[in-house]
Amino acid sequence: MNVKVITRHSPSNYGSLLQSIATVKTIEGLGHDCSIIDYQRPDERGLKGVLTQVNCKAGFGNPLKKLAYIAIRYPIEKFALVRFDRMRKKYLKMTSRCSSHVDLKKISADAFITGSDQVWGPMMNGVYDSAYFLQFVGKDSRKLAYAASFGKTKFDESTVVAYKKMLSEYDKIAVREKSAVSLLEEWGLNNCLGQVLDPTLLLDMSQWTNLLIKKNDFDKYKDLKYILVYQIHNDPKLSGYAKRLAKHTGMELLRVNPMLHQALRGGKFICSPDLSEFLSLVANASCIVTDSFHGTCFSINFGKQFIEILPNNATGTRNQSILELTGLSDRILCDFNDYSLVDKVIDYSKVNELLEVERRKSLEVIRSMIQNSSFIKQ
């Protein structure tokens, strides 16, 4: 069966790319042909993307301030974009580029899936995009969603009305967060199969290692003792804590990120490494400090000691959800003067049992969703 997936695969960050790869590999492993729909909004790429950012951010009323931001930010975004475009072409099976809803309507498949990540949240410009609700798919095709995420839990009344209409057109929906299950129940939708794992957790550590990690990248870090920072939000408290933690433990501090400006936040900076090196950094770290959902997922999947610093915005529910699911909510840092978590070793025997149960359940959900989409919708 031919399956097409639309997801947030194009942002220049590791989580978006890795979850897209995992989705394709999982569906292919179930015996289907699968590719990611290469839908990339022009207002989220390159200079247009930076202009979208600056026009939607508060505090940029002064034209000179706006111009300075663009001059500084554009080279940073461009560098990351080039690196990640290269990795997408190298690792991800995609359709031809789609830049509009007209392009999307030309895509054909036996089944269409809204994939994971914050596909049902606002785009960079603050507006919701109906493409991620499969509004381009004809009425004769089934619509499915796997591990979709809203990214938030509060919506205005007009948004709820639009969501209920579009989501009611799906045949089956599985969501990534417990909070999303509650939302769908609250809205009276009866097509939700419940909570499932993020696609990155459908592959275990050995599968990720065999798929992406090269020996020379792994060996580069295997004998080092270091704390790895994977930070995606602008949180000075996190940066300061990581530096103090490294000093407290006597370990080297390494920081990995696609964005060049993070070099100023402390630690030895590794900018936009290939996926092999990124996963090697995670696999060999003595401890990981992160505010990233996918940073958390890979810490757990690779059996690492980690410290969770919840994002300083409204997106922390997704981090909390996976921590609750695996019984690791006690890894959330509550006091920036507390360094004891680094010495509290996680017993992964119980965590791995829980993860394996959820992995089997999630694989069965995605298997049955696709298998049952093989008939023509009446």
Structure tokens at 330: 């006690």
Min mean pLDDT across 76-90, 181-195, 289-303, 360-374 is at 360-374
Q: What is the pLDDT of residues 88-116, one digit of tens each?
A: 999 999 999 999 999 999 999 999 999 99
Q: Is 374 exposed, middle or buried (0-12, 13-18, 19+ CB in 10 A)?
A: exposed
- Quick one: which H or E segment has residue 28? helix 14-29
Is-contact 44 123, C-beta < 8 A? Answer: yes
- pLDDT exceeds 60 at position 186: yes
Average pLDDT, stretch 303-323?
88
> Which among 185, 109, 121, 126 is positioned nearest to 148, based on CA atoms?
121
- pLDDT exceeds 70 at position 378: no
- Quick one: which H or E segment has residue 185? helix 178-186
Mean pLDDT across the chain:
93
State residue 374's pLDDT score: 46
- pLDDT exceeds 80 at position 202: yes
pTM of the model: 0.94
Q: What is the pLDDT of residues 47-84, one digit of tens each?
A: 888 888 888 777 777 888 889 989 999 999 999 999 99
Chain CA centroid to CA 364, Å? 22
> Which among 31, 24, 98, 131 is positioned nearest to 367, based on CA atoms?
31
Min mean pLDDT across 124-138, 295-309, 343-357 is at 124-138
Task: Write phi, then psi, for 273 (nearest 5 degrees).
Answer: -70, 160
State residue 315's pLDDT score: 67
Residues in Cβ contact with 313 at an 8 Å cutoff, skipping those fewer than 6 apart: 233
- pLDDT exceeds 50 at position 376: no
Average pLDDT, stretch 249-274?
96
What is the rounded CA–CA span in Å between residue 228 and residue 244? Answer: 13
- pLDDT exceeds 50 at position 332: yes
State residue 127's pLDDT score: 85
